[in-house]
Amino acid sequence: MFLRQCLTVAAKDLRAEWRTKEALNASLAFSTVILVLFSFALDPNPEMMQEFSGGLLWLVFLFAGALVLNRSFAREMQNDCLDALLASPVPVSGLFLGKALANYALLMTLELICLAEFGVLFNVRWLGNIGALLIVMALGTWALTVVGTIFSALTVNLRLREVMLPVLVYPMMVPPMMAAMILTTSLLNGDPIGPGNILWVRVLAGFDVIFTLLGVAFIDTVLVG
Amino acid sequence: MNALEIDTVWKYFGDYPALRDVGFNVEAGSVVALLGRNGAGKTTLLRILAGLSKPSKGSVKIHGSEVREEPTRRRIGVLGHGISLYDELTATENLVLFANLYGLKDSEKRAHQWLERTGLERVRDGLVREFSRGMRQRLAVARTFIHDPEVLLFDEPFTSLDDRAIAVLQSLIADAQKRGCTIVMSTHQLREAIELATHVVLIRKGQFAYAGERRQEMLDDPTWLYRTYEGDGAA
């Protein structure tokens, strides 16, 4: 029943987003602009890309991802839909996980498209370690999703939520972003995940588990009080 | 067992006490008219009864259980200020969504039944954002009733309704009364509320100025309550 309710909430969000494409269009446009501007501003050569390819890619994911995450609970404020959801028998943790699943699907879609654009604009070959790269993206994106979803709920009633969400999310994301950036740079340089960098995978996985549990534990206090 | 037990409830917003030591028990099958001026605390109380807000002190129980417990929330239907429907979904999708969230079997069948009952069958595949105001409100009424709640909480339900929506809602409230549902309704429509009610609660500045059975004086002159307990004739 809990899983069914989570999936019902996730399906609702994805269907609504598919009909309007508000968040996806905005974030895709924004990420494309950032990548193009970076390619002009930095004019990177292969040596430069070996240093900061992962950092650049995850910066784009973070900035564009905020546009998706901002819409997450904001869409519930229209017509007081959040009240109906909270009054229903769905556990608030189920509401949180359902929204996180929808956000995750949207963020992964955005990132896969960005990855393709990144490869073209910066002449980076990312197919070599694609399996490991997808695992790092999956873990890093879940970290962004859970932190972004909980803070989307926290800032939903604020007038300046579009500003406050990134201000709150980005500092929290420093540990997983460091891990994701370092791992991604290694993988894009052709280095596999091994004893030298497995620690960062553990950092990502640990962050995901801890913040998922924290999100589930505190969402009721955030939304109901 | 009482349907509603409101026990020494306080609610603060910052330092401001929106509700001050309110308490009242409502028997199952009662209809409670929640009256009071704008800002008196009606919506605050209703939100606490619906589990949308927690009291700062005190407790609220519905059929003996805490409001936030899942089985309790299955028994409550809430119609607030907003329609609580998704503009990007169709009428059917909205009702199926809430039917699924309430764990109802045959959610599609139920949705169609309620669309028919509220006169929206012809627009079942239309997006809610394309609906007129009256249609949106009838759909909101369908959403409120779709899971056959035993306790109904209405916050100014007749405000801004067109005639057709009013007729639908009045018919559903009458059916709910016959089924023995407990209804708490905040409204500014004094005469209609008092005629419908078995009990009346008047909130004044966060406190219950009156909380008890409907009296003949209220039926004879709906403004009697305000004149007696608030000291003026304006409702």
Residues B100-149 have pLDDT tens digits of 999 999 999 999 999 999 999 999 999 999 999 889 999 999 999 999 99
What is the structure's pLDDT at A91?
93
Q: Domains of chain B: which residue ranges?
A: 4-229
- The top-scoring range by mean pLDDT among A101-115, A190-204, B155-169 is A101-115
Q: SS3 for B147?
A: coil
- Please give the span between the terminal C-alpha atoms of chain B, in angstroms, as a whole number: 34
CA-atom Rg of chain B in angstroms: 18
What is the structure's pLDDT at B217?
86
- Asked if pLDDT for residue B5 goes beyond 70, the answer is yes
Cβ contact, residue pair A89, B53, below 8 Å: no
Window B:119-178, CB contacts with A under 8 Å: 127, 143
Give B230's pLDDT tier (boundaries 50, 70, 90): confident
Which of B44, B66, B93, B97 is the mutation pick for testing A, counting most A CBs within 10 A? B97
- CA A76, CA A94: separation in Å to the nearest integer? 15
CATH architecture of B4-229: 3-Layer(aba) Sandwich (3.40)
Cβ contact, residue pair B76, A87, below 8 Å: yes
Provide mean pLDDT across the span B208-228. 87
Percent of chain B with pLDDT over 90: 71
Of residues A219 and A46, more confidently modeled: A219
Give A212's pLDDT tier (boundaries 50, 70, 90): very high
Which residue of A lies nearest to B97 if distances are taken between CA atoms? Answer: A8
Chain B positions touching A72 (Cβ under 8 A) are none
Tokens of B141: 């009424």
CB contact B74 to A (< 8 Å): yes
* Residue A168 contacts residue A155 (beta carbons within 8 Å): yes
What is the structure's pLDDT at A145?
97
What is the structure's pLDDT at B149?
95
Segment A13-61, tens digit of pLDDT: 999 999 999 999 999 999 999 999 988 888 777 788 888 889 999 999 9
- Asked if pLDDT for residue B234 goes beyond 50, the answer is no
ipTM, two decimals: 0.89
Q: SS3 for B33?
A: strand
What is the structure's pLDDT at B232?
54
- Cut 0.80: pTM above it: yes
- Which residue from B151, B69, B142 is spatially nearest to B111, judged by alpha carbons? B142
What is the structure's pLDDT at B189?
80
- Asked if pLDDT for residue B228 goes beyond 80, the answer is yes
Give B21's pLDDT tier (boundaries 50, 70, 90): very high
Provide mean pLDDT across the span B69-84. 92
Provide mean pLDDT across the span B218-233. 78
Beta partners for B77? B152
Chain A positions touching B82 (Cβ under 8 A) are 79-81, 83
Provide mean pLDDT across the span B69-91. 93
Cα Dmax for chain B: 53
Q: At what angle do helices A161-172 and A46-77 cross, to 10 degrees?
A: 130
What is the structure's pLDDT at B45?
95
- CA A39, CA B27: separation in Å to the nearest integer? 70
Percent of chain B with pLDDT over 70: 98
Which of A1, A83, A221 is the mutation pick for testing B, counting most B CBs within 10 A? A83
Provide mean pLDDT across the span B39-62. 94
Cβ contact, residue pair A5, B100, below 8 Å: yes
Cβ contact, residue pair B101, A20, below 8 Å: no
Cβ contact, residue pair B103, A224, below 8 Å: no
Which residue of A lies nearest to B129 if distances are taken between CA atoms? Answer: A79
Tokens of B174: 């009458």
Q: SS3 for B60?
A: strand
Give B231's pLDDT tier (boundaries 50, 70, 90): low
What is the structure's pLDDT at B227?
84
Chain A positions touching B54 (Cβ under 8 A) are 224-225
Give B235's pLDDT tier (boundaries 50, 70, 90): very low
Helices (H), B30-162: 42-49, 70-74, 91-101, 107-117, 133-145
Tokens of A141: 């994106």
* Residue B205 contacts residue B220 (beta carbons within 8 Å): no
Q: Which amino acid is at B157?
A: P
- Tell me what the pLDDT averaged over chain A comes to: 92
What is the structure's pLDDT at A39?
87
Q: How many CB atoms lie within 10 A of CB B105?
A: 8
Of B71, B82, B98, which has the smallest distance from its Cβ to A83's Cβ?
B82
What is the structure's pLDDT at B199?
93
Residue A54 CB contacts under 8 Å (≥ 6 apart), including other chains: A180, A181, A182, A183, A184, A185, A186, A187, A188
- Tell me what the pLDDT averaged over chain B comes to: 91
Q: How many CA atoms lie within 13 A of A133 on its CB side?
A: 22
* Residue A152 contacts residue A73 (beta carbons within 8 Å): yes
Helix or strand holding residue B30 (H, E):
none
Of B81, B88, B102, which has the smallest distance from its Cβ to A80's Cβ?
B81
Chain A positions touching B88 (Cβ under 8 A) are 15-16, 19-20
Which residue of A lies nearest to B72 if distances are taken between CA atoms? Answer: A89
Provide mean pLDDT across the span A155-173. 90
- CA A147, CA B174: separation in Å to the nearest integer? 47
CB pairs under 8 A between A and B: 81
